[in-house]
Amino acid sequence: MSINPQNNPEKNKNMKTIFADAQTRLNEVFKHVDLTDDVEEKLKHPKLSLSVSIPMRMDDGSLKVFTGYRVQFDDTRGPTKGGIRYHPDVSLDEVTSLSFWMTIKCAVMDLPFGGAKGGIIVNPKDLSRLELERLSRGYIREIADIVGPKRDIPAPDVYTNSTIMGWMADEYAQIKREQLPGVITGKPVYLNGSLGRVAATGRGALYVLQQWVKRNNLQPAEMTLAVQGFGNAGYHFARLAREAGFKFVAIADSKGAIYSEEGLEPEKVMEHKEEHKDIKTMMYCDGSVCDFQRYQKISMEELLGLDVDVLVLAALENQVHKENADRIKAKLVLEIANGPVTSEADAILKKNYVTVLPDVLVNAGGVTVSYFEWVQNRGGLYWEESEVNDRLKNKIDREAKAIFDLAEEKQISLRTAAYLIGVQRIAGAITEKGTKEYFQNG
């Protein structure tokens, strides 16, 4: 079943869907490469879209039905790969867009995967742990026929984690009556997960930033950063980046944002967040004995408009759009989230000489180490964390350099350069299977 983004009932007819906006990224790419029409046509449509109902018995005895999705966008280059998110705003349009971005991302990193994505419309914070387990197992039961180590491999995403992936892998094993750890990545280490996977997205983002900093003769110690989104990826990026010498002056999660000109310590912010469930009105001290100091509480829009060197977007899609793009003062935007800058905002940022390090490169550390986990699961040979991190760095550094070089050579944006490399790899696979030109000349 395909989706027509113009007729998606989940969106207002007068609104541009996320998928339609995501597709506009290809328009600029097609100006710089001569591709067969087959490639353009294939990249317009997801291969498979599944919507499922997940009935679940709640702790109070009531029955509630949740809606879940799984979209496999393209498998030309291999089995599809992509995370599963739990969020009240999940929609088929969003999941389709995310699966499209995963298709490009896997090609950008030259992984033998296509792109997929999944999600459930739920606020996981409203569920008990037992309800969360029942929902996770119920979701896998509904999509079990379309996933597998050689077909479609899910992973964690927004509000899902290694524990949830472990439940899903176990449920799949019970359904199939055999151990198939390669069906899910991002699992706990003791359940055949990979060392280094939890911090992989944030670590990969840091490697990209360090490449850019080195290329432009900048000094980390002289750079200030603000990060929007303090989940797994945002936190590990901030933690590792601070260790590398970068200074964080603002941090935000879904409930609030804090600012300190003197700098923030991500580890202590996370300690407070885990204790109090949010970071607004954050208080902490440095040292064994000190006075608690209250840091300034700011709004999300204020954080986006801070005069910092790097604005790190690690929350959700469409955070920077045409209404607020002009307020961005940072000269570098690091996209750890998927699609945090709309195509209209991209044009505004370009006009204002703001460089965007694109999501399909920056957040590719997660899927790259997921690939390493899949390889380890299938081979039965597991690597040390240092080896995982070294392999990740080598892959990120190689692809980042190729993108930076291409952007400079063709005088195009980094996003267009990344898409151009990814699309050319996808096009090569499509072409090898035969195109209109091949059959016409036969």
Q: Which residues are catalytic?
A: 117
C-alpha span between 229 and 222 (Å, rounded): 23
Interhelix angle 162-176/129-143, rounded to 10 degrees, is 50
- Which run of H or E residues covers position 121? strand 114-121
Tokens of 54: 């997940």
Burial of 148 (0-12, 13-18, 19+ CB in 10 A): middle
Helix, strand or coil, per DSSP, at residue 202: helix
C-alpha span between 36 and 40 (Å, rounded): 7
C-alpha span between 17 and 392 (Å, rounded): 33
Among 434, 365, 358, which Cα is nearest to 403's?
A: 358
Strand order from edge to edge, sheet including 355-357: 296-298, 256-259, 247-253, 224-228, 310-313, 332-335, 355-357
Tokens of 439: 């059959």
How far CA 358 is from CA of 91, 208, 209, 326, 403, in Å, comes to 23, 10, 11, 18, 10
Q: Which residues pair with 227 in a beta bridge?
A: 251, 312
Taking the alpha carbons at both ends of the chain, their separation in whole angstroms is 31
Query: Alpha carbon 153 to chain centroid distance?
Result: 15
Q: Where do the DSSP E strands lie in 207-322?
A: 224-228, 247-253, 256-259, 283-284, 293-294, 296-298, 310-313
C-alpha span between 20 and 200 (Å, rounded): 29
